[in-house]
Amino acid sequence: MAANFSALVLLLSLSYSTVPILSLGIGINYGQIANDLPAPNRVLSLLNSINISRVKLYDADPNVLSAFANSNVEFVISISNGNLQNMTSSSNAQSWIQQNVQPYISQTKISCILVGNEVLAGTDTQLMSYLLPAMQAVNTALQNLGLNQQVFVTTAHSLAILANSFPPSAGSFNPSISSYIQPILNFHSEFNSPFLINAYPFFAYADNPDQVSLDYVLFEPNNGTVDATTNLTYDNMLYAQMDAVYFAMKAMGHTDIAIKISETGWPSKGDSNQAGASVENAALYNGNLLRRIQEKQGTPANPTVPIDVYVFALFNENLKPGPTSERNYGLFYPNGTPVYSFGLQGYLPQLNYSASSINVFSYSIFLVLNMAIFSWGYNRGESTDGGGANIYVDCEFVMLVEGGGIFSNLTPCEMLCSQSPCMWDTSTEASNSIDT
Ligand SMILES: *[C@@H]1O[C@H](CO)[C@@H](O)[C@H](O)[C@H]1NC(C)=O
Ligand SMILES: *[C@@H]1O[C@H](CO)[C@@H](O)[C@H](O)[C@H]1NC(C)=O
Ligand SMILES: *[C@@H]1O[C@H](CO)[C@@H](O)[C@H](O)[C@H]1NC(C)=O
Ligand SMILES: *[C@@H]1O[C@H](CO)[C@@H](O)[C@H](O)[C@H]1NC(C)=O
Ligand SMILES: *[C@@H]1O[C@H](CO)[C@@H](O)[C@H](O)[C@H]1NC(C)=O
């Protein structure tokens, strides 16, 4: 595989501007908590230039949906947590579809409505109780309007809904949410919609850099860790996290639901106490992830099901609260310059929003991959031992770490570990959601 890939990289390196470049195969989160982002029609040009055709919005922004009319871009749109209670009413759900989906869908592909974000990882049990009814009402409205064949309904979960995550075969949902999760799994099964998780191995590393192998979280060569129950070897944390969810679902009687990653990413910059946040690591994380997607890799427990990922995020978002990393997950600066062109700045063509036919992003990523392949020879990875699992929670971000249990740097949310399992206070949560 490496040899084939090097050949491809070489080909691209020599004549990247004339060779058709493969679809990147990834989705991207188009977050808009910023005051300096380009207009949606320019974003469309940018996405076309890098051949990304799947976009997730945190709302149903009419400006975006209309600017992308007649494009080949397919959208996941979202209903915010603040609108969940409203959506439990079938007539409100129906008007929401009529206002936010129907006017656009004949020209803009909308494939999924994401109802609520990380609701079951919060502490608001009232909100939790609205989740399934809102999903059902939205789904019924789609059925009534004849749209249920093209649009599916789901929600996105934080990995904090797991009580146990390592080894993956021991994955289980937090018992306190099982009364919510079981009927939601039944919903996914009945309507054949995927289970979405937001997964950030970065935080596992940042919170515990002495114990977590950087190579393991960055998909770099390492000896991996074996799940003694299944004998499956995990060479990266993201796959271990996905399989932990798979086994948690299995324990609740479901092996019939697909898992997709609705958010994952790595910040190119962080505060001094955020180990690992760097341009190099962000480029490795997303570059290695992209390579695995191109190889159509599955996880060890589901090797034939290619991973399906929405990378977080398209742009750096300057108005996101919280630590510096929060504002630095973007693949692009708002002016369209790729963040990951490290070392290539001099000869990377400047991105041209209006008429770029050059696949700048693919080009830089492939060069990154090329470097990774050259360093394939030496194995500087550290085996991560399969000790007891701990879940670290940062409101939006959850990380599974083998080894000691230190909860740290959990701003902007406060982790409450006086009880077991730990709970967290989301009253100051920095949300991606923008109410519409
Ligand atoms: C984009 O991806 C599609 C699907 O793989 C491919 O057919 C097309 O040629 C690509 N376009 C460019 C400009 O790379
Ligand atoms: C409830 O949803 C409907 C449909 O989107 C909307 O018109 C209405 O303003 C919402 N009500 C509240 C209180 O948010
Ligand atoms: C795991 O591998 C070991 C050694 O190869 C073998 O003895 C054991 O039976 C295997 N267990 C499973 C569950 O396959
Ligand atoms: C960049 O865009 C301008 C128009 O906005 C166009 O004239 C120019 O040819 C473009 N350059 C490239 C390299 O595509
Ligand atoms: C990986 O495993 C090999 C063979 O057991 C060993 O020699 C090497 O030291 C290991 N590498 C790391 C980084 O643990």
| Residue 379: pLDDT band with limits 50, 70, 90 | very low
Among 212, 215, 223, 382, say which to mutate for ligand 5: greatest number of ligand atoms within 8 Å of CB.
223
Q: Which two tokens stand for residue 11?
A: 């080909």
Give the pLDDT of residue 24: 59
For the segment 7-24, the average pLDDT, to the nearest whole number, is: 36
On the question of pLDDT at 431 being above 70, the answer is no
Ligand 1 lined by 51 (C-beta under 6 Å):
yes
Say if ligand 2 is within 6 A of residue 90 CB.
no
Is the Cβ atom of 96 under 6 angstroms away from ligand 2? Answer: yes
In this structure, of 39-48, 133-142, 205-214, 238-247, the range with the lowest mean pLDDT score is 39-48
- Could you tell me if the CB of 4 is within 6 A of ligand 4? no
Residue 279 has pLDDT above 60, yes or no: yes
Q: Is the CB of 233 under 6 A from ligand 5?
A: no
pLDDT value of position 335:
86
Average pLDDT of 293-320? 95
Position of tokens 């879940």? 391
Distance CA 344, CA 134 (A): 48
Query: pLDDT tens digits, residue range 167-224?
Result: 999 999 999 999 999 999 999 999 999 999 999 999 999 999 999 999 999 999 999 9
β-pair type (309-311, 109-117): unpaired
Minimum-distance ligand to the CA of 79?
A: 2
Residue 352 CA, ligand 4 centroid: distance in Å: 6
Phi, psi of 398 (to 5 degrees): -135, 140
SS3 string, the chain, reads: CHHHHHHHHHHHHHHCCCCCCCCCCCEEEECCCCCCCCCHHHHHHHHHHCCCCEEEECCCCHHHHHHCCCCCCEEEEEECHHHHHHHCCHHHHHHHHHHHCHHHHCCCEEEEEEEEECHHHCCCHHHHHHHHHHHHHHHHHHHHCCCCCCCEEEEEEEHHHEEECCCHHHCEECHHHHHHHHHHHHHHHHHCCCEEEECCHHHHHHHCCCCCCHHHHCCCCCCCEEECCCCEEECCHHHHHHHHHHHHHHHCCCCCCCEEEEEECCCCCCCCCCCCCCHHHHHHHHHHHHHHHHCCCCECCECCCCCCEEECCCECCCCCCCCHHHHCCCCECCCCCECCCCCCHHHCCCCCCCCCCCCHHHHHHHHHHHHHHHHHHCCCCCCCCCCCEEEEEECCEEEEEECCCCCCCCCCCEEECCCCCCEEECCCCCCCCCCC
Average pLDDT rounded to a whole number, residues 28-57:
92
Catalytic residue among 74, 190, 220, 263: 263
pLDDT bin (cut points 50, 70, 90) of residue 263 is very high
Q: Which two tokens stand for residue 145?
A: 């309007």
Instruction: Say yes or no: CB of residue 383 within 6 Å of ligand 5.
Output: yes
**How far apart (Å, rounded) are the C-alpha atoms in residues 129 and 177?**
10
Catalytic-residue membership of 429: no
Residue of minimum CA distance from atom 13 in ligand 2: 86
Between the CA of 359 and the centroid of ligand 1 the distance, in Å, is 10
**191: Cβ contacts below 8 Å, ≥ 6 apart:** 139, 148, 152, 153
Task: Calculate what percentage of the chain has a pLDDT beyond 70.
Answer: 72
Tell me how far the alpha carbon of residue 8 lies from the centroid of ligand 5, in angstroms.
Answer: 30
Q: Which ligand is nearest to the CA of 18?
A: 1
pLDDT value at residue 341: 56
Share of the chain above pLDDT 90, in %: 65
In this structure, are residues 37 and 327 in contact, taking their beta carbons and an 8 Å threshold? no
Catalytic annotation present for 402: no
Kindly report the CATH number that applies to the domain delimited by 2-425: 3.20.20.80
Ligand 4 and 352: CB distance under 6 A? yes
178 CB within 6 A, ligand 5: no
- Could you state, in order of their start, the residue ranges of all structural domains in the chain? 2-425
Q: Whose CA is nearest to atom 12 of ligand 5?
A: 382
Q: Check pocket membership of 21 for ligand 1, CB cut-off 6 A.
A: yes
The two tokens of residue 35 are 């005051």
Q: Looking at 10-19, 212-221, 338-347, which range is the least confident one?
A: 10-19
Ligand 1 atom nearest to 51, measured from its CA: 1
Atom 8 of ligand 2, nearest CA residue: 92
Tokens of 315: 């742009």
Average pLDDT for residues 245-260, to the nearest whole number?
Answer: 98
CA-355 nearest atom, ligand 4? 14
Average pLDDT, the chain: 79
Per residue in 128-172, pLDDT (tens digit) is: 999 999 999 999 999 999 999 999 999 999 999 999 999 999 999
Whether 254 has a pLDDT exceeding 50, the answer reads: yes
Q: Which two tokens stand for residue 58?
A: 């945190």
Give the pLDDT confidence score for residue 23 in this predicted structure: 53
Question: How far apart are alpha carbons 399 and 264 in whole angstroms?
Answer: 11
Length, in residues, of the chain: 436
